[in-house]
Amino acid sequence: MWHGGSHAAEYLKQHLFENLMKHPKFITDTKLAISETYPQTDVDFLDSERNTYRDDGSTASTAVLVGNHLYVANVGDSRTIISKAGEAIPLSEDHKPNRTDERKRIENAGGVVMWAGTWRVGGVLAMSRAFGDRMLKQFVVAEPEIQDKEIDEEFELLVLASDGLWDVVPNEDAVSLAGAEEEPEKAARKLTEAAFTRGSADNITCIVVRFHHEKAAPVNPKHE
């Protein structure tokens, strides 16, 4: 989800995964590749914007499947959940300024978390990590939190969405609504429409990924 302008989000769309796939350890140490690529992409974006008066930013909740390992990296207050046997399992934790560890990190860096309609860094930004946001960069970092799961046949679908969905649609509802649709695109549309109907006033962006597991071929018993 972008804020203050779309340039950060557009830059990430063009460069983030490209940079990740170019990392020499993308396959052999995916977590390391993610943890190094995300902050470096942020540095590159800020450098590309240094001669402008813009100060936009973007969250990023991303999922990468390497073999049967799913890596979810989160920067900001977008969220990724996965459905396993009908149960919603969060694979990221929102970076909100009032999260105890995030507030401590910001205050240790000399920043403040203030209430201004919601909790905000410096009374301005309602998330504690993001790409861009040059004026708050000392406090609003682009270091991802990464979770990984080994995917098996019990995992059904993945939902990645901005806070415009999660503000009004609980994780369990998202899994239930999305699971009722066979086509992922229809499921994503159903979720965004549900968020809008429930009165979401924020950016609503949603992607649904359905896992298709290959069933093992039956073993034919040998007859002696």
User: Is residue 56, in this structure, part of any structural domain at all?
Assistant: yes
What is the pLDDT averaged over residues 169-188?
96
- Distance CA(3)–CA(46), nearest Å, equals 15
- Distance CA(84)–CA(123), nearest Å, equals 38
User: Is residue 220, in this structure, part of any structural domain at all?
Assistant: no
User: Is residue 88, in this structure, part of any structural domain at all?
Assistant: yes
User: 10 Å Cβ neighbour count for 131?
Assistant: 28
The contacts of residue 106 (CB under 8 Å, 6+ apart) are 97, 112, 113, 121, 128, 139
User: Is residue 217, in this structure, part of any structural domain at all?
Assistant: no
- Distance CA(45)–CA(30), nearest Å, equals 22
User: Is residue 38, in this structure, part of any structural domain at all?
Assistant: yes
Number of C-alpha atoms within 13 angstroms, CB side, residue 32?
7
The structural domain count of the chain equals 1
Give percent above pLDDT 90 in the chain: 84
* Contact between residue 129 and residue 38 where contact means Cβ atoms under 8 Å apart: no
* Contact between residue 155 and residue 149 where contact means Cβ atoms under 8 Å apart: yes
DSSP state of 220: P
What is the pLDDT averaged over residues 17-40?
96
Cross-strand bridge partners of residue 90: 81
| 14-18, 159-163, 204-208, 209-213: the lowest-pLDDT one | 209-213
What is the pLDDT averaged over residues 185-211?
94
What confidence score (pLDDT) does residue 4 get? 54
Give percent above pLDDT 70 in the chain: 93
Residue 224: band (very low, low, confident or very high) from pLDDT cuts 50, 70, 90: very low
Tell me the two tokens of residue 24. Answer: 């020499």
User: Is residue 141, in this structure, part of any structural domain at all?
Assistant: yes
What confidence score (pLDDT) does residue 6 get? 80
- Distance CA(17)–CA(203), nearest Å, equals 22
- Distance CA(45)–CA(37), nearest Å, equals 12
Q: Does pLDDT of 2 surpass 80?
A: no
What is the pLDDT averaged over residues 10-18?
95
User: Is residue 44, in this structure, part of any structural domain at all?
Assistant: yes
What confidence score (pLDDT) does residue 220 get? 56
* Contact between residue 92 and residue 147 where contact means Cβ atoms under 8 Å apart: yes
Residue 120: band (very low, low, confident or very high) from pLDDT cuts 50, 70, 90: very high
What confidence score (pLDDT) does residue 219 get? 53
What residue numbers bound the domain in which 163 lies?
Answer: 2-210
User: Is residue 215, in this structure, part of any structural domain at all?
Assistant: no
| Domain CATH code at residue 20 | 3.60.40.10
**Residue 75, SS3 per DSSP:** strand
